[in-house]
């Protein structure tokens, strides 16, 4: 009985027809079973599955394991030919409704042909259940992103973190993880000393009346100038930090006022870009930092270094963390130790996480490498139970390929950037004459969709490790892999069903009687791209590179165009009256739109009905 059970478990799970599943996962399981049975003498044999190149003659997927297995035999002195090994694999391959047939080609490739009825059934399920995520084990995840600093302007680096973080959070939420979006803002540092001292001088009545600070950045500049020039002011600034950090009520009130000014500014950006975050700044960790420093000290992890207290990570790191400064103050390092402990190891915390993701510019890669090493050493992070990811990203460059700055050399204010985007998007729509066809309200919605969509998409579509050039002209192009191209493509696809008078409800009804059509070569090509949806989602979950989804949705759009160029969906006569509707193709177009829409949601793009 035990043996029978074991065999049952190694079989691929019976497919749940209500949702799309990962094709590569199923093929992997099937071929793993076959290869293990065919070559029991090889431990851990290579199972190599790939999407086939575009020529349909070579099948839809491939298993390329025969060659590496032949090499393994060759090394142990056995002479075998890969073609024979491929045959042995096929002899042991369990049958599965997804696989139509397999063929051996060339030196020993196995070409896999998918069953079209299976494909129809899977795509058809979308109409009843919507686009469902693949099943994954549920986890609690904290994602730390955006995280600007109070009193300093939120800059383009923070914009990248905000955009990438939001997309990863949406992806994880789509997969039904429990996601906590944390804004680790810099709200607790020595800069508050001078800000508070300056506030006391400029607005002596600030405790009674909200100070009218409109531009916190110039306020910061003024304070900084006084700090650098005026010894007496400097002393008061230091006093203020000490008082603040010991939670003296008047100082706390002043600090809160300053934070509120920044917070309002940040929120404007978040609202415009549709970003959700829960604030948990550095100040939250002040008392927790005191606690963890004590614990680290008692456990003997801290070393004295010229009055500083430092902690070393492991062999992979070459710099230590500064846990306590020589003046007794805490640092960015120590508050992050408190934060990671709070995330993973705080038993009282309802958010106690299995996985923590930090979306921060690549310049901080070392900081996080040391953080992870120290957290492991201190027993906070257990690699067997926990996962941590540092999701880094490159800098944003201007069109001159230098660091993105205004002409006068100041860093660019995000509000100005978004305003500029709106302006450019409107120009673009007018250039296309859209202002003449759309109502003012429709035009406004199209403008916002294009402006914010193009800014997000330009960022997300680049490999996040690379720097990228910020250019409105490039991102507003309507050809190539841009938000504008995709948003237009999507609106066009949706309008196909609308022309034939199909509402979403009618399509749902239709799908109960009619099947998606996958007969024509171009229909099948599109259908196969759509079936890859779960695989693309899982790939992105695995490495947290959102550009995979951008490339995928672009491939959907271009493959759809190929299909639409050679397959009529709605036939009209010369007077424009509908003479024939191909229902199977209307369904295929709608399935395409639904999958694109899901990708758009993850990427934060908001398509509009008309544009």
Task: Summarize as ranges the residues that interact with ligand ARG (CB under 6 A).
Answer: 144, 147-149, 184, 186, 336, 339, 358, 360
At closest approach, how far in Å is the CB of 145 from ligand ARG? 8
Min dist. Cβ of residue 322 to ligand ARG (A): 14
Which run of H or of E encompasses 557? helix 547-566
Judged by beta carbon, residue 266 or residue 554, the one nearer ligand ARG is 266
Q: What is the nearest approach in angstroms of ligand ARG to the Cβ of residue 281? A: 9
Beta carbon nearer to ligand ARG, 181 or 528: 181
Residue 237 CA to residue 47 CA, distance in Å, equals 64
- Long-range contacts at 455-459 (CB < 8 A, ≥ 24 apart): 455/159, 455/163, 455/417, 455/418, 455/421, 456/163, 456/167, 456/273, 456/483, 456/603, 456/604, 456/605, 457/482, 457/483, 457/486, 457/550, 457/603, 457/605, 458/482, 458/483, 459/159, 459/160, 459/163, 459/164
Separation in Å, CA 226 to CA 90, 184, 222: 79, 29, 6
Query: What's the min distance (Å) between Cβ of 163 and ligand ARG?
Result: 15
The minimum distance between CB 144 and ligand ARG, in angstroms, equals: 5
Task: Give the tokens for residue 499.
Answer: 């022309």
HSE of 29, CA atoms in CB hemisphere, 13 A: 18
| Residue 570 host element (H or E) | strand 570-572
Q: Which residue is nearest to ligand ARG (CB)?
A: 147
User: Least separation, in Å, of the C-beta of 190 and ligand ARG?
Assistant: 14
Nearer to ligand ARG (CB atom), residue 21 or residue 144: 144
Nearer to ligand ARG, 184 or 462 (CB): 184
Provide, rounded to whole angstroms, the least separation between the CB of residue 279 and ligand ARG.
12
Whose Cβ is closer to ligand ARG: residue 154's or residue 586's?
154
- Inter-residue contact 446 to 434 (CB < 8 Å): yes
Given a contact cutoff of 8 angstroms between Cβ atoms, the answer to whether 285 and 335 are in contact is: yes
Residue 415 Cβ, how far from ligand ARG at the closest point, in Å? 18
Q: How far is the CB of 266 from ligand ARG (least distance, A)?
A: 12
- Which residues are within 8 A (CB) of 532 and not within 5 positions of it... i.e. 6 or more apart? 23, 51, 552
Looking at the Cβ atoms of 126 and 396, the one nearer to ligand ARG is: 396
Which of 144, 448 has the CB closer to ligand ARG? 144
CB of 305 to ligand ARG, least distance (A): 22
CA dist., res. 95 & res. 102, Å (int): 11
Of 31 and 358, CB closest to ligand ARG: 358
Q: Pick between residue 147 and residue 334 the one whose CB is nearest to ligand ARG.
A: 147
Which of residues 199 and 371 has its CB atom nearest to ligand ARG in the complex? 371
Q: Which of 335, 370, 342 is nearest to 356 (CA)?
A: 342
* CB closer to ligand ARG, 140 vs 155: 155
DSSP 3-state of 73: helix
| Least distance from ligand ARG to the Cβ atom of residue 147, Å | 4
Give the Cβ contact number of residue 94 at 10 Å: 14
Run of H or E residues at 49: strand 49-51
Smaller CB separation from ligand ARG, 144 or 265: 144
**Direct distance between the N- and C-terminal alpha carbons of the chain, in angstroms, rounded to an integer:** 63
DSSP state of 566: H
- Cβ closest to ligand ARG, residue 336 vs residue 448: 336
Neighbours of 487 (CB within 10 A): 25
Structural contact between residues 394 and 403, judged by C-beta atoms closer than 8 angstroms: no
Least spacing, CB of residue 74 vs ligand ARG, in Å: 51
Report d(CA 548, CA 416) in Å as an integer.
30
CA angle centred on 485, ends 479 and 486, rounded to 5°: 145
Quote the tokens at residue 277: 């975050």
At residue 182, the 3 state secondary structure works out as strand
**Smallest gap, in angstroms, from Cβ of residue 328 to ligand ARG?**
22
CB-CB contact of 167 with 383 (8 Å): no
- 301 within 8 A of 377, measured Cβ to Cβ: yes
Cα angle, residue 92 at apex, residues 90 and 93 outer, rounded to 5° = 65
**Cα–Cα nearest to 526, from 576, 561, 572:** 561
Nearer Cβ to ligand ARG, position 161 or 592?
161
Q: Could you tell me how far CA 194 lies from the centroid of its own chain?
A: 38
Give the nearest distance from C-beta 214 to ligand ARG in angstroms. 23
């Amino acid at each position: 009985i035990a043996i029978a059970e074991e065999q049952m478990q190694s079989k691929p799970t019976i497919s749940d027809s209500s949702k799309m599943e990962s094709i590569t996962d199923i093929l992997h399981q099937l071929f793993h079973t076959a290869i293990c049975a065919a070559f029991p003498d090889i431990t851990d044999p290579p199972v190599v599955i790939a999407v086939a190149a575009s020529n349909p003659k070579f099948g839809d997927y491939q298993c390329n394991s025969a060659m590496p297995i032949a090499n393994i035999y060759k090394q142990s002195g056995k002479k075998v030919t890969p073609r024979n090994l491929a045959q042995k694999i096929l002899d042991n391959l369990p049958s599965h409704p997804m696989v139509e047939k397999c063929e051996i080609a060339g030196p020993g490739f196995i070409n896999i042909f998918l069953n079209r009825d299976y494909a129809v059934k899977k795509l058809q399920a979308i109409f009843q259940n919507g686009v469902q995520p693949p099943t994954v084990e549920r986890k609690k995840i904290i994602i730390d992103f955006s995280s600007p600093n109070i009193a300093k302007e939120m800059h383009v680096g923070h914009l990248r973190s905000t955009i990438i973080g939001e997309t990863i959070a949406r992806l994880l939420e789509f997969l039904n993880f429990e996601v906590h979006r944390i804004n680790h803002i810099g709200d607790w540092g020595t800069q508050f000393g001078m800000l508070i001292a300056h506030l006391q001088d400029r607005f002596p009545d600030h405790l009674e009346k909200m100070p009218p600070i409109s531009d916190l950045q110039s306020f910061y500049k003024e304070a900084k100038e006084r700090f650098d020039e005026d010894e007496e002011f400097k002393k008061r600034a230091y006093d203020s930090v000490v008082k603040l950090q010991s939670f003296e009520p008047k100082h706390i009130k002043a600090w809160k006022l300053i934070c509120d000014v920044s917070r309002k500014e940040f929120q404007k950006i978040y609202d415009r870009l549709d970003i959700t975050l829960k604030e948990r700044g550095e100040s939250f960790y002040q008392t927790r930092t005191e606690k963890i420093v004590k614990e680290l000290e008692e456990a003997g992890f801290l070393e004295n270094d010229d009055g500083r207290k430092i902690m070393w990570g492991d062999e992979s790191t070459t710099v230590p963390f500064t846990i306590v400064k020589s003046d007794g103050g805490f640092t960015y390092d120590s508050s992050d130790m408190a934060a990671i402990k709070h995330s993973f190891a705080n038993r009282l915390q309802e958010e106690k996480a299995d996985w923590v993701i930090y979306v921060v510019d690549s310049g901080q890669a070392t900081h996080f490498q040391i953080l992870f090493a120290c957290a492991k050493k201190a027993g906070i992070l257990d690699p067997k139970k926990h996962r941590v990811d540092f999701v880094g990203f490159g800098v944003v460059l201007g069109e001159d390929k230098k660091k993105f700055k205004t002409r006068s050399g100041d860093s660019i204010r995000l509000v100005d950037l978004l305003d500029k985007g709106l302006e450019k998007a409107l120009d673009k729509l007018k250039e296309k004459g859209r202002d003449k066809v759309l109502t003012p309200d429709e035009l406004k919605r199209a403008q916002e969709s294009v402006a914010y969509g193009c800014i997000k998409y330009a960022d997300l579509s680049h490999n996040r490790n690379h720097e990228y050039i910020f250019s409105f002209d490039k991102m507003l192009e309507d050809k190539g892999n841009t938000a504008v191209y995709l948003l237009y493509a999507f609106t066009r696809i949706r309008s196909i069903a609308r022309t034939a008078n199909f509402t979403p409800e009618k399509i749902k009804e239709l799908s109960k009687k009619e099947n998606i059509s996958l007969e024509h070569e171009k229909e099948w090509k599109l259908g196969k791209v759509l079936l890859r949806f779960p695989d693309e989602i899982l790939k992105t979950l695995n490495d947290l590179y959102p550009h995979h989804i951008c490339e995928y949705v672009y491939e959907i759009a271009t493959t759809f165009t190929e299909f639409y160029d050679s397959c009529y969906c709605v036939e009209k006569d010369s007077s424009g009256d509908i003479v024939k509707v191909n229902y199977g193709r209307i369904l295929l177009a709608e399935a395409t739109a639904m999958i694109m829409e899901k990708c758009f949601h993850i990427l934060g793009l908001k398509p509009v009905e008309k544009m």
